[in-house]
Chain A
Amino acid sequence: MSDPKEQQLENQLKHWHQQAVMPASLRRHIQQQLKQPHRPSSSRRWQQYAALASFALALILWWQASSLSERHYQIVREQQNGHLIEVHRLEPRQPSVNEGLQLAYQQALSEFTKVQAATDAHQRLMYWQWQDQGVLLTDCQDTKVLVQQELVSMWLQQQRIQLADVQQPQWVSVTQGQQGQFLAFASSTSASHCKAP
């Protein structure tokens, strides 16, 4: 910086630079802004909302997954219009219910092919009809079994059957486990020994 030209340039630069002054109106405006209460920016708010929504979604998915896994196959007999009817459905797991039996049902459902091959499974010919609450199955002895829609949907999904293929009333061959639970069904045409309900 001993060079006089260098020194002169430096002085000129500083002088030029210092001439830029913030307008008073802008200074007041920024000061006012700084006095406003702090709020998260819109982008930060959006990020917070997104995080909250993701958390909520994750919670819902977790709840759905856990609630599905916590359901068990239930068979109950009910009186409907003076007729005894057997209802098959998926129910939330109750702590008081026999845990071993529920486990057996769930294993049987998920390992359909194994269970079908097992000796304790047997087949039964039944007439398939859709109703409001699900599917009504009627056998040759006029025993009626109502299968909850959710359970039917699970069967269809497990056996990769299209809903359109089972819309019409028809005879089906139903595979049942030792406890009476339905394991699977298949379309059947051999219903000559009894009449359709």
Chain B
Amino acid sequence: MAWMWWKSKPDWSRYSSQQLLTEYLSRREPALLSVLFERYGDALYRFLLRSADAELAADISQQCWLRVMELGEQFAGHSQFKTWLFSIGRHLLLDEFRRRHGKDLLLPEELVDQHAGPEGICADSRQTESLQQAIAQLPAEQREALLLQLEEFSLAEIAQICRTSEETVKSRLRYARDKLKQQLGGWHVGS
């Protein structure tokens, strides 16, 4: 009998994210949400950690998944689940920035060196440190677009998350990469 029950359990890992969310909303089975968390939890945390400090990134990560539990019905299916998830994360992050600092995103000097530590990046590498500082010096919108692109979002999806146009995203990314190449030219040539 136990064997029959085991056999009847679907293999959730084969389901699309949208299907998993739909199933979760009808069944409220935590295992379904866990699959989504395993798929996107790290990516979301990475984006948050690169945009804020470790404590806030952890806090927003938790809030984000609670929102998915509570507001899952609001997911209209007009975008990918991951895009919707990151939109929630970005929205919560901006709210927190406004509450704490009275502005939308952290200034470059506030991001420099804040990721040092065992759970941040490896500071041993001079190149990595230079890269991090160069990214931190980017204007907030350009940095945000770059981080989302690193998470393999398309231009359209980045535009959707940042609530702007694709052209604006494209421009932000071009400026960001040009600046990084300029600033990191020294070690690029030397490496």
Contacts and interface: CB of A to CB of B under 8 A. Distances in A.
Contact of B62 (A12, A21, A33, A37): A33
Interface in B99-132: 115, 119-122, 127-128, 131-132
B90 interface: no
Interface string A7-27: 011001111111111110011
B142 interface: no
A160 interface: no
Nearest to B191: A8
A20 B146 CA distance: 15
Size category of the binding interface on chain A: 20 to 34
Contact of B184 (A9, A22, A23): A9
Contacts of A20: 45-46, 49-50, 115, 120-121
Given A5-B188, A9-B181, A9-B188, A22 B121 contact: no
Interface in A1-49: 5-6, 8-9, 12-23, 26-27, 29-31, 33-38, 40-41, 44
A34 B67 CA distance: 11
B180 interface: yes
B167 interface: no
A1 B71 CA distance: 40
Contact of B128 (A15, A21, A27): A15
Task: Give the residue among A29, A33, A35, A36 with the most B Cβ atoms within 10 A.
Answer: A33
A16 B126 CA distance: 12
A14 B43 CA distance: 12
29 contacts: A5-B185, A8-B188, A9-B177, A9-B188, A12-B128, A12-B131, A12-B184, A13-B131, A13-B180, A15-B128, A16-B131, A16-B132, A17-B147, A18-B46, A19-B122, A20-B49, A20-B115, A21-B42, A22-B45, A23-B58, A23-B119, A30-B65, A33-B65, A33-B66, A34-B65, A35-B30, A35-B34, A36-B30, A44-B70
